[in-house]
Amino acid sequence: MIRTAFFISDGTGITAESLGRSLLAQFENVEIRKLTKPYIDTIEKARSLVSIIEATAIRDGVQPIIIDTIVDERIRDVIRAAPGFKVDIFSTFLEPLERELDTHSSYSVGRTHAIASDDAYMDRIHSVHFALDNDDGARTHQYDKADVILVGVSRCGKTPTSLYLALQFGVRAANYPLTEDDQDENGSLKLPAVLARQRHKLFGLTIDPRRLSAIRHERRPNSRYSSIDQCMQEVAQAEAMYRKLHIPFIDTTRFSVEEISTRMIAETGINRRFSPR
């Protein structure tokens, strides 16, 4: 049986979707179709959505799961009329907090993802620009300004991790690809001089060779670059260098970019410039 989950918000829907996905991820044996419905900010939109939910209940033969962060009481009342198992995040948590703090919530739409201050917003933008400018070994002369330098073989997840660190935490992340150009005369990887000067900022990424081969095959099918032998060799050399030089590293094979980033921050103690949204 397939269950449908609606993540509903009168704002961006990011909070409802993030929390909803985290909760539903605990039920691995249930197939769930996930639908995000942001900006349900009028009675008319809410009524239209209720019709969709009703049709979904009839089609599935079981009530949908409704996870919402609706602030407006009138819109919330309309959604409550829909057939479904409801998880009302704001009413569940805000009302007990109001009692504990002895004050009323502002009940403002979009406060979680609003621009808190111009300085914080610009810091986020500068961090993203830094990650883009220093992607894939570009502009190595800026490494002295980096908070962390991710190293690893091609296609192991360096770029998405760098961008996530920048966007979510304001971390200035550069990344450098380990290639055959960085091998010594014995065929082993050596640390390039530009990285040796910033060795305390290095963090390594590795990946299962079979997974790496599959990823590379999508880009360059049936090439030496994507062959399993080449991938095994590159990964083994990278991991050997990490261990020899005591560079901390993480296997990205089974981790999402969110998990890679937070685990890296926890292990290195890098300062976040702000909390994730």
Q: Is 155 annotated as a binding residue?
A: yes
Please tell me whether residues 82 and 172 are part of one structural domain.
Answer: no
Residues 6+ apart with CB under 8 A from 52: none
Q: Is 152 annotated as a binding residue?
A: yes
The predicted structure's pLDDT at residue 200: 96
Q: Which of 63, 62, 64, 73 is nearest to 35 (CA)?
A: 64
Residue 172 is classified by DSSP as: -
The predicted structure's pLDDT at residue 261: 94
Average pLDDT per 10 consecutive residues for the chain, totaling 277 residues: 92 89 91 95 97 96 95 91 91 84 71 57 88 92 96 96 93 96 91 95 98 96 96 97 97 94 93 71
In a domain, 256, yes or no: yes
Sign of the dihedral through C-alpha 266, 160, 126, 19: negative
Burial of 154 (0-12, 13-18, 19+ CB in 10 A): middle
Give me the domain span that covers residue 24. Answer: 3-111
> In this structure, how many other beta carbons lie within 10 angstroms of the beta carbon of residue 220?
12
Out of 50, 81, 111, pick the residue that ends a domain: 111
The predicted structure's pLDDT at residue 60: 95
Backbone phi, psi, residue 29, to 5°: -90, 0
Cα 73 to the center of its chain, rounded Å: 31
Please tell me whether residues 124 and 36 are part of one structural domain.
Answer: no
Quick: pLDDT tens for 182-214: 999 888 999 999 999 999 999 999 999 999 999
Q: Is 201 annotated as a binding residue?
A: no
Q: Is 154 annotated as a binding residue?
A: yes
The predicted structure's pLDDT at residue 186: 87
Out of 55, 81, 111, pick the residue that ends a domain: 111
Please tell me whether residues 37 and 147 are part of one structural domain.
Answer: no
In a domain, 276, yes or no: no
Q: Is 157 annotated as a binding residue?
A: yes
Kind of pairing between the strands at 31-37 and 173-177: unpaired
Out of 111, 133, 157, pick the residue that ends a domain: 111
Please tell me whether residues 126 and 55 are part of one structural domain.
Answer: no
Q: Is 231 annotated as a binding residue?
A: no
Please tell me whether residues 124 and 251 are part of one structural domain.
Answer: yes
